[in-house]
Amino acid sequence: MRELADVLRETLPGRATDATRRSAGALRDTYRSGSAPATLAIADAASAAAYAAYRMPATRAAIARALASLVPVWDTTDPPRSHLDLGGGTGAAVWAAHGLWPGARSRVLDASEPALALGRRLADASGDAGLAATEWELARLAPGTRLPNADLTTVSYLLGELSPELAGEVVGACLASSRVLAIVEPGTPRGYAAVLAARERVLASGWRLLAPCPHVARCPLAPGDWCHFSVRIQRSALHRQLKDAELGHEDEKFSYLVAIAPEVAGVPGAEQRAAEPPESRVLRHPLTRKGLVQLRLCTPEGTVRDEIVSKRQGPRYRLARDTDWGDTFPAT
CATH fold of the domain at 278-330: OB fold (Dihydrolipoamide Acetyltransferase, E2P) (2.40.50)
Compute the residue count for the chain: 332
Q: Is the pTM of the predicted complex or chain greater than 0.95?
A: no
Q: How far apart are CA 26 and CA 18, in angstroms?
A: 12
- Residue 263: burial class (beta carbons within 10 Å; 0-12, 13-18, 19+): exposed
Is residue 16 a contact partner of residue 245, using CB atoms and an 8 Å limit?
Answer: no
Q: Across the chain, where does the E strand assignment appear? A: 82-86, 105-110, 135-138, 150-156, 178-186, 208-211, 229-234, 249-260, 279-282, 287-289, 292-298, 304-310, 328-330
Per-residue pLDDT tens for 180-207? 999 999 999 999 999 999 999 999 999 9
Q: How far apart are CA 180 and CA 178, in angstroms?
A: 6
Domain range list for the chain: 4-274, 278-330
Q: How far apart are CA 152 and CA 97, in angstroms?
A: 9
Q: How far apart are CA 173 and CA 143, in angstroms?
A: 10
Full pLDDT tens readout for the chain, 332 residues: 899 988 988 887 665 566 666 666 666 666 666 556 555 568 888 889 888 888 899 999 999 999 999 888 776 557 889 999 999 999 999 999 999 999 899 999 999 999 999 999 999 999 999 999 999 999 999 999 899 999 999 999 999 989 999 999 999 999 999 999 999 999 999 999 999 999 999 999 999 999 999 999 999 999 999 999 999 887 766 656 656 666 677 889 999 999 999 876 455 566 555 556 679 999 999 999 999 999 999 999 999 999 999 999 999 999 999 999 999 999 87
Q: How far apart are CA 50 and CA 238, in angstroms?
A: 9
Under 8 Å CB-to-CB from 101, ≥6 apart: which residues?
74, 79, 80, 83
118-136 burial by CB neighbour count: b if 16+ within 10 A, else e? Answer: bbbebbebbebebbeebeb
**What is the DSSP-derived secondary structure letter of residue 161?**
G
Q: How far apart are CA 180 and CA 258, in angstroms?
A: 7
Give the CATH superfamily of 4-274: Vaccinia Virus protein VP39 (3.40.50.150)
CA nearest neighbour of 78 among 271, 265, 266: 266
**What is the amino acid identity at position 115?**
A
Per-residue pLDDT tens for 44-92? 888 898 888 888 999 999 999 999 998 887 765 578 899 999 999 999 9
Q: How far apart are CA 11 and CA 107, in angstroms?
A: 22
